[in-house]
Amino acid sequence: MKVIAAIDEMTRFSQKLRCDGRTIAFVPTMGFLHEGHLALMTEGKNKADHLVVSIFVNPAQFGPSEDLSTYPRALDQDLEKCRDIGATAVFTPSADDMYPNGHETYVVLEKLPFHLCGLSRPVFFKGVATVVTKLFNIVRPHAALFGEKDFQQLAVIRRLVEDLCFDIEIVGVPIVREPDGLAMSSRNKYLTPKQRPHALLLHRSLTAAQKMVATGESDAGKIVALAREVLTSCADIRLDYVSICDPASLDEIAVVEGAALMAIAVWLGKTRLIDNQMLVPVP
């Protein structure tokens, strides 16, 4: 497995694979890899001849008061996991190379960021769209895999690939959860033993909402109210949003009759947690 830090070397490496007629699947990550990342990689290996993983904690997607400096890092263990899974290459660029002095071009979407996480994290999707565009141009994959856990991010990537005419297949991978239901996340490491059980309330509130829908409730306001009640049963949880929205536009919906996404973001102490689930009405 090649570990490549230099941008031009990564591009040459991919270009060579392409010239040899090989296909490339790409999994962009911020590292501190867990089973969720590994599911993307496994799917990537099924999709193409070669798997390229990037590990880059992207400063452009963190706001000034967010956790860039404390974001968990474990490069050696991450490389071991990539090797075990059979990645062909891991791209580990530096922030200085990705954003050298004079860098001033960003990719900004007009509508999708003004929903859900984008409302409380105003620079987040500008940073994500920019870094993913740059990574696509460097790695030149045929397919790229993203987790449905970050549902809005996946929607943003799908939009930008279509709008900017990237010839890349975007594959969404279902959320990987701990056995007790907590969605896996690198940020789960921040949770104290006391907070860890409270984090289960995200999944529990989604499950309660789905049960309500399955028994015939279609009033989104009532379903959101129930989920908020489940979440705020813990005094340490501070809600960012609980939303039922159209999975394509992310616009809020009032009546659950067709496809509807329920998405949640909360603060548990200093840790921001997100989760989501499609709500399936009774046929």
CB 248 within 8 A of CB 111: no
CB 205 within 8 A of CB 219: no
275 is written with which tokens? 């989760």
CB of 13 or CB of 71, closer to ligand AMP: 71
Minimum separation from the CB atom of position 7 to ligand AMP (A) = 19
Minimum separation from the CB atom of position 78 to ligand AMP (A) = 10
CB of 184 or CB of 230, closer to ligand AMP: 184
Q: Report the alpha-carbon angle 61-110-265, nearest 5.
A: 50
- Phi, psi for residue 188 in degrees, rounded to 5: -60, -20
203 is catalytic: no
201 is written with which tokens? 């309330």
Minimum separation from the CB atom of position 25 to ligand AMP (A) = 13
Minimum separation from the CB atom of position 225 to ligand AMP (A) = 27
Strand-pair partners of 267: 238, 272
CB of 148 or CB of 212, closer to ligand AMP: 148
CB of 186 or CB of 243, closer to ligand AMP: 186
Bridge pairing between strands 24-29 and 143-147: parallel
Distance of CA 192 to the CA centre of its chain: 23
d(CA 279, CA 257): 9
Any idea which residue has 């279509």 for tokens? 162
Any idea which residue has 């309660």 for tokens? 208
Distance of CA 159 to CAs 21, 43, 129, 276, Å?
28, 21, 10, 19
CB of 181 or CB of 269, closer to ligand AMP: 181
Minimum separation from the CB atom of position 97 to ligand AMP (A) = 19
CB 279 within 8 A of CB 270: no
Q: Report the alpha-carbon angle 111-117-123, nearest 5.
A: 70
Minimum separation from the CB atom of position 29 to ligand AMP (A) = 4
CB of 144 or CB of 242, closer to ligand AMP: 144
**Catalytic residue, candidates 37, 50, 115, 198:** 37
* Binding residues for ligand AMP (CB under 6 A): 29-30, 36-37, 39-40, 146-147, 149-150, 173, 175-176, 183-186
The Cβ-side half-sphere exposure at 80, using a 13 Å CA radius, reads 6
CB-closest chain residue to ligand AMP = 147
Q: Name the residues annotated as catalytic.
A: 37
